[in-house]
Amino acid sequence: MHLIIAEKNIAAQRIAGFLSSSGKPKTEKDNNVSIYRFDDKVALGLRGHVVEVDFEEGYKNWRSETHTPRTLIDAGIIRKPTEKKIVALIKKLSKKADLVTIATDYDREGELIGKEAYEIVREANKKVPVNRARFSAITKQEISAAFDNPAEIDFDLAAAGEARQEIDLVWGASLTRFISIAAKRGGKNILSVGRVQSPTLAMIVDREKEIGEFVPVPYWMLSIISEKDKEQFEARHTHGRFDLKEEAESALSGTKEPVEVTEKKEGSRTDKAPAPFDTTGYIVAASRLGLSASNAMRVAEDLYMNGYISYPRTDNTVYPDSLDIKGILNEIKKSFRRDTEWVIANIRDTPTKGKKTSTDHPPIHPTGAAKPADLDEKSWKVYELIVRRFLATLSPDARWKTLKYLLNAGGEEYTSTGQRLEYEGYRMVYPYSQAKEQVLPDLSEGEKLPLVDTVLEEKETQPPPRYSQSKLIQQMEELGLGTKSTRHEVIGKLISRRYVEDNPLKPTQVGMAVTESLEKHATLITKPDMTKTIEDHMEEIKRSSRSKEEAVNESRGMLNQIFDDLEKNEEAIGEEIMDRTAEERIVGKCPVCNSNLMIRTTKGMAQFVGCTNYPDCSFNLNLPSVQWGKAIRDDDNICDQHNLHHVKLIRAGARPWEIGCPLCNHIRSNIEALEMMDSVSPEIIRRMHENHIYSVFEISKLPVAEIASKMNFSDKQAFEFKKEAEGVLEELRKRSEVKKFVRKTIPPKKGRSHSKVSNGLFSLGITDLGRLSCANKDSLKSLKLNDEEAEKLIFEAKLIHNKGIFKEVGIPAISVNKYFKAGFIGPNDLSTTHPAYLSYKSGINIDTVHKHVSIICENNGIAPPAGMSRKTFEKGRTELMSLKSFEEEMLEKMYYAGVLNFKTLIEADADRLAKITGITRKKIMDFKKEAENNK
């Protein structure tokens, strides 16, 4: 059997299709991995890398005393499977194989992925021959050729890839750990460092600095408006930019009618049809359609998976000769008939070419016809873009006619340029670039025209713009940072680490602080040059003029030197970062003491804005807890009234929640509770706010004397005011108990949210669990609860409420639970049931039961039943059990009826006892007689 291993499932499927004699391989699933069988061959797809590098055992703990971040540099490196099912399947199939062909992508990483598969094959089968098929596109022609002329795995090329992996791991992991620990950050807040991400972040930080340091310089532009045959046109002064206003003004005053045409230049310009799409080119074009880099890649991936376009991750901008361009045109003609026919009729000699050729995949092009109805709106826009780009690369260049006039007005020289599309060319089918026609009237040299207007504009030089995602990706590509598949992910990583934010990209304080620390102490990792060096070394490894070990060890040496410096400065680095990031949490000045107000989080989940002068100043403002998102300062918005930065809560996968000004928010969220206090009026609220008191809670915490002086109250008034606040707090506490209870007890339904039910209860006057526990079932109908739910709500409330009462009088929770379990859920159940029965049912011994019953009775003003010792109780039980034909289960019934020994049996009324216990009167009479005799 011949085993064929491709880089991914789809590739395996298509390769099998091209190689099979019938054209229809048999698809099977083995442990959820697809395999394709045909002609005694099996094709199987990997999922890219199926193993990953990691450190050997013993380096898991970040804060280990012995295995510090530095020790990672020389730690042993292992490779461990990440796709266990695929690895197992390869082993299983290898055992039966008599030939294995590695058919991974034709690039360095593909060679490494292939070598990984080779190692797995070898583990299971030492002898089977393994060869390598190389192809640049999965077309019938290339695949057949590759399998007809198989080659060998290039182990040197794979080793080059391994060197890259090991260097990235060692640098990334050791520096990430070091800087995170120095800045005391863990969990989700770690500070990551890497060969690609750190230089990328540095680019964004550098740009931000340039913008910050930019000093705008004013300049002046002068132009005139003239006309011919009522058609106006504009001309600019040939001096261009005037740096001095006086010069511009003197040129303006020198400008006089008539405007004379001194020169006319006509020409033409070729407007080249665009090159085929590689990944970067595609992302840039898609961003003009409003797609972010990661969205663009996701949509393209989806189109690829459905067979509409070719593989979207490619560095190639030159169509390979094997590409069946006519075939593709025929296919897309189904969806773009007119455009395709035009292209076929006007096709250029050879398709356009870009600057980059590579062996991995062809440029992105359509592979199948889609109709708008097959795709969602966004996918269709992208598909159309890719089809039109493909058509454009086969279309003739466009041509523009250009026209330039030189004009003289009173000795001042002006110029006007125009252009007109002479031949549309590729623009017929590719309407995405917005070059505009600029039409000028037809003038001849020597012609004199009127001066309609003059325009003197003051302008300013502009700072460079922040990077957009697509611009950054282009820049990364230029510097060799990342790959076609990872560049957009790197940006995502910087955002999720909170190093950068917004679009265009802006660094945060954390991003800047980390970059500056690294630039100071580990410059190498912040520069694109590191990637270049690694590339050079990889090239040498590939040519076997350097060994992998040599390259990795050289890199380790450099990293060790860096750590000499880092470890010396660990404390300073940590403090620098922590100081800088603290700044990001300051929202403004404390209205009480004018210190800084800062966003803080307690050890639990609570977040608030508090004064940095605490405990001397206790001013603080509540924020929603972390579960709603992490509170961060909104740099762009400041409250007009309180002069504080707005705050927003950010949470992965959710839109930011704009809290607005934290003080306004605090006032807003406390006003309702304040208004529950009878003595609160708008005037009182005004006085409170003046003294920075905003909530009922704050009133309850203030000393009476302070309330009196701040609010201008008498001591008695202040005392009452505080008491009232405490009352409201208690009321609120009970309400929140009810809310919590409702959430726990009743499942939410459409139109009946938890808060609707709670608020409904409040409006019925049911504001605590006690009231709910004795509510009428029917009165809850208005809350859209069915009978069963209303009953449940009341019953559960009773349980909780009564538990509270039991607890209050001093019955321990363990006993209460036993009573509840036995079905005694209220104080009345205890006071009206015989202690013997209570004890029997609950399993609590009689002394204890008696104590509990006495407590309840005392509290209700009832005389407690006579006491009974455990010994007496047990003796009575033995007596009853000794009766002839007395059965165990009768005990329960007797206890229930208050019969617990011979004495009480003899005293009991036989008829009543028979009725309660359901035991026949005759039997009871027998028992009574026997008891009498044995007394």
- 74, two tokens: 């020389």
Q: Is 66 in the site for DNA (CB under 7 A)?
A: no
CA distances from residue 920 to 898, 909, 911 in whole angstroms, order as listed: 17, 13, 9
Q: Output the smallest distance, CB 762 to DNA, in A.
A: 44
Nearest approach, Cβ of 302 to DNA (angstroms)? 8
Q: Which positions from 117 to 156 touch DNA by CB under 7 A, shown as an x/- string?
A: ----------------------------------------
Structure tokens at 349: 């000699």
193 binds DNA (CB under 7 A): yes
- The encoded tokens of residue 176 equal 């990430």
For residue 66, give every residue at least 6 positions away whose Cβ sits within 8 Å of its Cβ, in sequence order, or none.
Answer: none
Q: Nearer Cβ to DNA, position 180 or 340?
A: 180
Scanning 50-58, 334-342, 467-475, 747-755 for contacts with DNA by CB under 7 A, the matching segment is 50-58
Give the residue numbers annotated as catalytic, written as ranges.
Answer: 311
Q: Is 63 in the site for DNA (CB under 7 A)?
A: yes
By CB under 7 A, how many residues form the interface with DNA?
57
> Which region, judged by CB under 7 A, interacts with DNA, from 118-126, 179-187, 414-422, 514-522?
179-187
Nearest CB to DNA, comparing residues 492 and 727: 492
Kindly state the helix (H) or strand (E) to which residue 406 belongs, with its residue range: strand 398-409
Compose the 459-498 pattern: x for residues touching DNA by CB under 7 A, - for all others.
-----------------------xxxxx--xx--x-----
**The binder of DNA chosen from 17, 25, 45, 281 (CB under 7 A):** 45
Q: Contact region for DNA (CB under 7 A) — 58-66, 237-245, 465-473, 846-854?
A: 58-66
- Judged by beta carbon, residue 164 or residue 546, the one nearer DNA is 164
Residue 862 interacting with DNA (CB under 7 A): no
Sign of CA dihedral 462, 467, 468, 472: positive
In the complex, what is the shortest distance from the CB of residue 2 to DNA, in angstroms, rounded to a whole number?
Answer: 22
Asked if 61 touches DNA (CB under 7 A), the answer is yes
Span 298-327, contacts to DNA by CB under 7 A: 301, 305, 313
**CA–CA gap between residue 111 and residue 105 (Å, rounded):** 7
> CB of residue 578 vs DNA: minimum separation in angstroms?
15
Q: Quick one: which of 113, 783, 790, 913 contacts DNA (CB under 7 A)? A: 113
For residues 246 and 707, give the distance between their C-alpha atoms in angstroms, rounded to a whole number.
67
Please give the Cα distance from 354 to 274 (Å, whole number). Answer: 8
Closer CB to DNA, residue 63 or residue 871? 63
Beta carbon nearer to DNA, 196 or 905? 196
Phi-psi region at 278: left, alpha or beta (left = phi > 0; alpha = psi -120 to 50): beta
83: contact with DNA by CB under 7 A: yes
Residue 13 contacts residue 28 (beta carbons within 8 Å): no
Piece of the chain touching DNA by CB under 7 A; list 170-178, 269-277, 459-467, 907-915: 170-178
Q: Does 510 bind DNA (CB under 7 A)?
A: no
Q: Which is nearer to DNA, 190 or 732 (CB)?
A: 190
Residue 153 C-beta: closest distance to DNA, Å: 17
- CA-CA distance, 779 to 782, in Å (whole number)? 7
Stretch that binds DNA, among 185-193, 436-444, 622-630, 828-836 (CB under 7 A): 185-193
- The residue within the footprint of DNA, chosen from 30, 52, 422, 584 (CB under 7 A), is 52
| Residue that has been written with the tokens 């000699």 in this structure | 349
Nearest-approach distance from CB 806 to DNA, in angstroms: 45
Which of helix, strand or coil describes residue 315? coil
Mask of contacts with DNA, 282-301, x by CB under 7 A?
Answer: -------------------x
Closest distance of CB 15 from DNA, Å: 13
Q: Which residues contact 390 (CB under 8 A, 6 or more apart)?
A: 276, 328, 332, 365, 366
**Which distant-in-sequence residues (6+ apart) come within 8 Å of 115 by Cβ?**
153, 155, 158, 161
Q: In what order do the strands lie in the sheet with 630-638?
A: 630-638, 645-650, 657-660
Nearer to DNA, 7 or 879 (CB): 7
Please, are residues 605 and 596 in contact by the beta-carbon 8 Å criterion? no
d(CA 603, CA 211): 38
877 and 891 Cβ atoms separated by less than 8 Å: yes
The owner of tokens 């598909």 is 383
Q: 50 or 708, CB closer to DNA? A: 50
Given the complex with DNA, which of 358 and 596 has the nearer CB atom? 358
Put the strands of the sheet holding 596-601 in their side by side order. Answer: 586-589, 596-601, 607-611, 620-623
**Would the CA dihedral through 271, 277, 282, 286 be positive or negative?**
positive
Cis peptide before 312 (omega within 30 of 0): no
Interaction site with DNA (CB under 7 A): 7-10, 45, 47-50, 52-55, 59-63, 72, 82-83, 105, 107, 109, 113, 164-165, 168-169, 171-173, 176-177, 180, 185-187, 190, 192-198, 301, 305, 313, 482-486, 489-490, 493
